[in-house]
Structures are given as C-alpha cells and as structure tokens.
Amino acid sequence: MENLVRHRYWWFTISLLIILPGLYFLLLNPLITGGGFRVGLRPSIDFSGGALWDLRFPGKAPADVTTSAIVDVFAKSGFEGAQVQLSSATLDGKPAAEVLVRTRSLSATDPNSEINVVFAALKTAFGEVTRERLESVGPTVSQESTRSAIIAVLGASLFILIYLTWAFRKAPHPVRYGVCALIAMLHDVLLVLGVAAILGTFFGLEVDALFLTALLTILSFSVHDTIVVFDRIRENLINRRSGEIFDNIVNHSIVQTLPRSINTQITTLFTLTALLLFGGQSIRNFIAILLIGLISGTYSSIFNAAQLLVVWEHREWQRWFRRGDPGSDQPAIPA
C-alpha cells in the first residue's frame, strides 16, 4: 500500500509551486508594474461600474470593423476611452463581426438618448448593427456588490467552519477538522484567484458576478470532498486498534476514500466538460474556473486537509526550523 501520508511535505510543495506564481500576479506584479497596492484582478462592470456593449455587424468580417474606428465612433458619441474587443460570430446562420465594447456607465437620468446617439453614429459608420447585449452598472451598485461579495465569501466560510466543528464534535479535537478544512478551502481560493490573476494579466479575463458564484461553489465542493475524507478518519478512529498510530489511520482513510474521490471527480469533469464544449459563450469562463477549482478542491482535500491533521497531531511546526527535512521519517508517535 502506498503511504501517502509519509510524503506529505511533497504534496505541500506541489501546492505551493502551483499557488506561488498566481500569488505573484495577484499581489506582487501589480505592485511592481503599477507602483501601488492593488489586487491583480480585472474587475468586470459588475464590480467596477461601467457599460458593456455586445454588438454584431451582420455580413461583416472582423477586419471590416476596426477597433480604432469603433473607438472613434464611441468617442464622438460622448464615450471617451472605450475598450474594444473584436471577434467573429454567427447571426441567423450568417457570419457577423462581433464587438464587445466597454465604456463608462450610461447616464442615470437619460440613458435612452445616449444609446440612440451611439447607435445612430454606428449605423452611419458601419451600416447595419444589432445589439445583442447592453449592460450598464452604476457606481453605487458596483460598490455594494464588491462589499457583499466579500461578505458572502467570509460568511459562507464561517458557517462551514461552525457546521464542521459541530459535525465532528464527537471526534477528538473537533476544531482541528474545521480549521484544516478551511485551510484546504483557502488553498483552493488562492489557487483560483491566482489563476484568475494570471489569465487576467495575459488574456484579459474579468472577474464578474459569475466568477464569484464559481468561487463560492468551489468552496462548498472543496469542503464536500474534505468532509468525505474526514468522515472516514472519524469512523476509523472510533474502530481504532490499540497501538495503531494516527498517521496510519489517516493514510487508510485516504486510500479507502480514494476510489470515491476519483470517480466523483470524473463524473463532475464529464458534466463540466460537456458544459464547456456545448454550454454557450457567456458561461465559458465560469465553467473553466469551476473546472480548475474543483480539481484543486479534490487535491486539497486528499493531499492538504487530511495531511494537515497529521502535522497538527505531531505539532510538527515545532521542528520545521530545527531540522533540515521535516518530512523525513520520524519516530512513530502514538497519538
């Protein structure tokens, strides 16, 4: 039988190697390039305010409508500094140029005349144009959204910690289970935020309300996986034979739940891949983030959460800075 627990510091190293580049782009890169402290994520209009115009030009190739021409039209219509993204789409089976334009938000008192001015100008410049989507978020709402987003993540974490401590109240040290599950959760959050920062820096991925939904789902699925492993540990602790060390119980429990972890991961991968392939453009980023997060969630439940229980049991942090390799074989300490 493979001893997964013995190699725990390897698993932690792998996690760090994946998370650290993300953290660099999340925190350090904006500090270096921007000079000030800010989070290296690209907020969408949901959080920063502004307007998003999704336009299609039937019968035109993306080359026919240049970015600069569109920026000009918007500038002349009272929307300076528009950000334009070109792609090709189909409209009623025919190819059409698709344009995503980000501008300041529409006027709150008279949005309609602003819209009419822009469309009149676009028609003069490019001919026929259809509006697929037009979203405008004012500053008050976007500030509130950011605040309630943070509250949502913290609130969900707190409730889960309370529930876990309660669910494992009969196991020795119930708080440990809650805290280790939360650390595994933090692992997934940092990993996903890091990936979003990297994708945002290089591919312009935006963090929107759906991203937040994905993040919260990942939190719950991460805890879901962790609980399954912890539950087995709890059960095996109850049936423990004398002299059996904690490390082995944790290892047994991981190995016993491994088939379930893998199979559940596979079925979720199937459904998410189906969504990714066929599920429509507008939720593609959402699904991709979910996919990354769920894989991370399974990894962290097996290779972080359960292993951290062992670290805690031995209070290994007392040795971290005294010995060269804390992961090397230690004398088995009966717990």
Partner 1 sequence: MRSRDLYSLLLIAIVAGVALFINFAPSQSFLGRDVRFRLGLDLQGGIQVLLRTTSAAATKDEVQTAAGVIERRVNGLGVGETVVQVAGNDRIIVELPGVENPEQAVETLRGTGRLEFIDPQGQYIPTGTVVRTTGEPNPAKLASTNPLTGTNTVTNTAATGPIYQSITDGKDLDTSAVQPAFSQGGTLGSKPAVAFAFKGNSALGLEKFTSASVGKPMCIVLDSAVVSCPVINAALPNGSGVIETNSTVDRDRILNELKYGALPIPLVVETSRTVSATLGQDSVRTSITAGIAGLIVVALFMVLFYRLPGFLAALALMIYTAISFGIYRLIPITLTLPGIAGFILSIGLAVDANVLIFARLREEYRRGRDIRTALELGFEESWPAIRDSNASTIITSIVLFLFGNSFGVSIIKGFAITLFLGIVVSLFTAIVVTRTFLRLATPVFSEQNAWLFGIDRRNTSAVDPTAPAEAV
Q: CA–CA separation, 262 vs 320, rounded Å?
A: 32
Residues whose CB is less than 8 angstroms from the CB of residue 89 and which lie 6 or more positions away in sequence, other chains included: 56, 95, 96, 97, 98
* CB closer to partner 1 out of 284 and 323: 284
To which H or E segment does residue 315 belong? Answer: none
Residues 130-189 that bind partner 1 (CB under 8 A): 130-138, 140-141, 144-145, 148-149, 151-152, 155-156, 159-160, 163-164, 167
**Which of 3, 87, 271, 330 is in the footprint of partner 1 by CB under 8 A?**
271
Give the count of beta carbons closer than 10 Å to the beta carbon of residue 15.
Answer: 20
Q: Which two tokens stand for residue 229?
A: 């492993």
Q: CA–CA separation, 237 vs 112, rounded Å?
A: 67
63 three-state secondary structure: coil
What are the residue ranges of helices labelled H in 301-331? 306-314
Residues whose CB is less than 8 angstroms from the CB of residue 108 and which lie 6 or more positions away in sequence, other chains included: 138
**Which of 67, 83, 165, 264 is in the footprint of partner 1 by CB under 8 A?**
264
Question: Taking Cα atoms as reference points, which of 235, 249, 229 lies closest to residue 297?
Answer: 229
Part in contact with partner 1 (CB under 8 A); list of ranges 36-44, 61-69, 192-200, 273-281? 273-281
Q: Tell the residue number behind the tokens 């994905």, with chain if given.
A: 214
- Shortest CB 44 distance to partner 1, Å: 12
The verdict on 232 binding partner 1 (CB under 8 A) reads yes
Q: CA–CA separation, 51 vs 31, rounded Å?
A: 27
The verdict on 75 binding partner 1 (CB under 8 A) reads no
The verdict on 245 binding partner 1 (CB under 8 A) reads no
Q: CA–CA separation, 44 vs 102, rounded Å?
A: 9
- Shortest CB 259 distance to partner 1, Å: 4
* CB closer to partner 1 out of 191 and 223: 223
- Shortest CB 165 distance to partner 1, Å: 12
Give the rounded distance of the alpha carbon of 251 from its chain centre: 29
Part in contact with partner 1 (CB under 8 A); list of ranges 16-24, 190-198, 213-221, 318-326? 213-221
**Which of 227, 289, 306, 311 is in the footprint of partner 1 by CB under 8 A?**
227
**Which of 29, 67, 165, 213 is in the footprint of partner 1 by CB under 8 A?**
213
Pair 299, 292: CB distance under 8 Å: no
- Shortest CB 168 distance to partner 1, Å: 8
Q: Tell the residue number behind the tokens 């405008």, with chain if given.
A: 136
Part in contact with partner 1 (CB under 8 A); list of ranges 19-27, 124-132, 197-205, 310-318? 124-132
Q: CA–CA separation, 183 vs 3, rounded Å?
A: 22
The verdict on 240 binding partner 1 (CB under 8 A) reads yes
- Shortest CB 224 distance to partner 1, Å: 4
Residues 78-107 that bind partner 1 (CB under 8 A): 78, 91-92, 106-107
Part in contact with partner 1 (CB under 8 A); list of ranges 32-40, 265-273, 311-319, 327-335? 265-273
* CB closer to partner 1 out of 13 and 273: 273
